[in-house]
Amino acid sequence: MAGTGAYGRPPAKAPAVAGAKKVWIVSCGQSAIGCQTGAEAAKKAAEAVGWSAQICDGKLNAGGAFAGCVRQGIAARVNAIVTEAIDCVAVKEPLGEARAAKITTINFWGFDCDTGESATGEKLFTESVVPSEKYRTNEAYQQAIGAARAEWVKARSGGAANVIELHFTGTNIGAALHEGFQLGMKGCASCEVETVEVTHQSFGNTRQIIESALLKNPQANWVAVPLDSLVLAGAGQAVAGSPRRADVKLIGGEGLPPNLGLIRQNQGQSAAIGQPIDWYGWAAIDTLIRAFAGEPPAPSGLGFQIIDSEVNLPGSGPYRAPVDFMSAYRRAWGL
List pLDDT tens digits, range 243-255: 999 999 999 999 9
Residue 111 and residue 173 in one domain: no
DSSP annotation of 121 reads S
Q: Which long-range contacts (CB under 8 A, 24 or more apart) does 46-49 make?
A: 46/21, 46/82, 46/285, 46/288, 48/285, 48/330, 48/333, 48/335, 49/17, 49/285, 49/289, 49/333, 49/335
Whole-Å CA distances, 273 to 113, 142, 182: 26, 11, 16
* Whole-number Å distance between alpha carbons of 144 and 184: 9
In a domain, 64, yes or no: yes
Residue 267 and residue 298 in one domain: no
**Mean pLDDT of all residues belonging to the chain:** 95
User: Is residue 36 over pLDDT 60?
Assistant: yes
In three-state secondary structure terms, 33 is helix
* Whole-number Å distance between alpha carbons of 309 and 313: 6
Residue 93 and residue 242 in one domain: no
Rama region for 317: left / alpha / beta (φ>0; ψ in -120 to 50; rest): left
List pLDDT tens digits, range 182-220: 999 998 999 999 999 999 889 889 999 999 999 999 999
Whole-Å CA distances, 82 to 53, 104, 128, 254: 10, 8, 10, 21
* Whole-number Å distance between alpha carbons of 304 and 274: 5
In a domain, 17, yes or no: no
List pLDDT tens digits, range 256-300: 999 999 999 999 999 999 999 999 999 999 999 999 999 999 999
* Whole-number Å distance between alpha carbons of 65 and 62: 6
pLDDT at 212: 97
- Cβ atoms of residues 307 and 299 within 8 Å: no
* Whole-number Å distance between alpha carbons of 268 and 252: 10
In a domain, 79, yes or no: yes
In a domain, 327, yes or no: no
User: Is residue 314 over pLDDT 70?
Assistant: yes
Residue 203 and residue 248 in one domain: yes
Which residues on neighbouring strands pair with residue 272, listed in sequence order? 307
Confidence of residue 62 (pLDDT cuts 50, 70, 90): confident
% pLDDT > 70, the chain: 99
User: Is residue 12 over pLDDT 60?
Assistant: yes
Residue 116 and residue 159 in one domain: no
pLDDT at 43: 98
Residue 259: give its domain's CATH number. 3.40.50.2300
Residue 280 and residue 270 in one domain: no
With CA atoms as reference, report the closest residue to 190 among 240, 233, 244, 153. Answer: 153
Over range 15-27, report the average pLDDT: 97
**Distance from chain centroid for Cα 220:** 27
Helix ranges restricted to H, the chain: 33-48, 65-75, 92-100, 138-157, 172-185, 206-216, 228-230, 236-240, 257-265, 277-292, 325-332
Residue 112 and residue 232 in one domain: no
Give the count of domains, the chain.
2
In a domain, 167, yes or no: yes
Residue 169 and residue 104 in one domain: no
Residue 181 and residue 93 in one domain: no
User: Is residue 1 over pLDDT 70?
Assistant: no
Helix (H) or strand (E) holding 127: strand 127-128
Residue 94 and residue 183 in one domain: no
pLDDT at 3: 65
List pLDDT tens digits, range 86-130: 999 999 999 999 999 999 999 999 999 988 776 677 899 999 999
Which residues on neighbouring strands pair with residue 84, listed in sequence order? 108
Cβ-proximal residues to 187 (8 Å cutoff; 6+ apart), any chain = none
- Write down the pTM of the prediction: 0.94
Q: Containing domain of residue 47, as a range? A: 22-135+276-302
In three-state secondary structure terms, 288 is helix
